[in-house]
């Protein structure tokens, strides 16, 4: 069975937001690989983000909302303003943009893809894949953008549906 077929089967059976994000996590693992997969749900109007899903909740639990204000630099501009994929392939590059870089490095991770998810013209989430240093080659980044962009939008829409009218608010 192809990764896409497995994804469609998992989404068809999903009954809650966690199941939706697990389906996307499985697809992302096959498309680009990851050892850490998280989803940050955003509310740009309120300036808030919330980790809605994590495959490693001991290190990266789902939690309450955090303010976006104070975030600047290439990462924020790339993902939140320009709505483009951000990629870093070394712990040094990660350290420039993420304050939790020591935890990331301690987990043996050294590369990241942050894929923005836009619905109705709004940035509603960021899909975050992390793996060993140098893992996210040009080919893997292209595969992630090509094969995860539409499924991520579907998952975001379904998660909002499952979480109800307030689901959009972190």
CATH, residue 97 = 3.30.450.40
- Please tell me the predicted confidence (pLDDT) of residue 85: 97
The parent domain of residue 139 ranges over 3-165
Write out the chain's pLDDT in tens, 170 residues: 899 999 999 999 999 999 999 999 999 999 999 999 999 999 878 888 899 999 999 999 997 777 776 666 788 889 988 999 999 999 999 999 888 999 999 999 999 999 999 999 999 999 999 999 999 999 999 999 999 999 999 999 999 899 865 544 44
Query: Would 170 be classed as within a structural domain?
Result: no
Cα(27)–Cα(99) distance, integer angstroms: 28
Query: Would 48 be classed as within a structural domain?
Result: yes
Cα(70)–Cα(51) distance, integer angstroms: 18
- Please tell me the predicted confidence (pLDDT) of residue 99: 87
Q: What SS3 string covers 4-45?
A: HHHHHHHHHHCCCHHHHHHHHHHHHHHHCCCCEEEEEEEECC
**DSSP type of residue 109:** -
- Please tell me the predicted confidence (pLDDT) of residue 69: 65
- Environment class of 106 (CB within 10 Å of its CB; exposed 0-12, middle 13-18, buried 19+): exposed
**Number of domain units in the chain:** 1
- Please tell me the predicted confidence (pLDDT) of residue 71: 61
Query: Would 158 be classed as within a structural domain?
Result: yes
Contacts of 84 (CB under 8 A, 6+ apart): 78, 116
């Amino acid at each position: 069975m192809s990764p896409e077929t497995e994804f469609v089967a998992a989404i068809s059976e999903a009954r809650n937001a966690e199941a939706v994000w697990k389906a996307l996590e499985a697809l992302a693992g096959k498309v680009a690989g990851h050892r850490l997969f998280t989803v940050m749900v955003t509310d740009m109007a309120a300036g808030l983000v919330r980790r809605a899903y994590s495959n490693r909740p001991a290190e990266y639990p789902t939690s309450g909302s955090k303010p976006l204000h104070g975030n600047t630099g290439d990462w924020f501009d790339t993902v939140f303003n320009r709505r483009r994929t951000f990629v870093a392939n070394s712990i040094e590059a990660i350290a420039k943009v993420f304050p939790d870089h020591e935890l990331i490095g301690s987990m043996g991770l050294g590369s990241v893809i942050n894929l923005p998810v836009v619905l109705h013209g709004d940035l509603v989430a960021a899909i975050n894949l992390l793996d060993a240093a140098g893992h996210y080659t040009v080919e893997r980044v292209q595969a992630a953008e090509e094969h995860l962009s539409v499924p991520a939008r579907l998952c975001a829409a379904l998660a909002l549906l499952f979480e109800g009218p307030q689901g959009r608010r972190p």
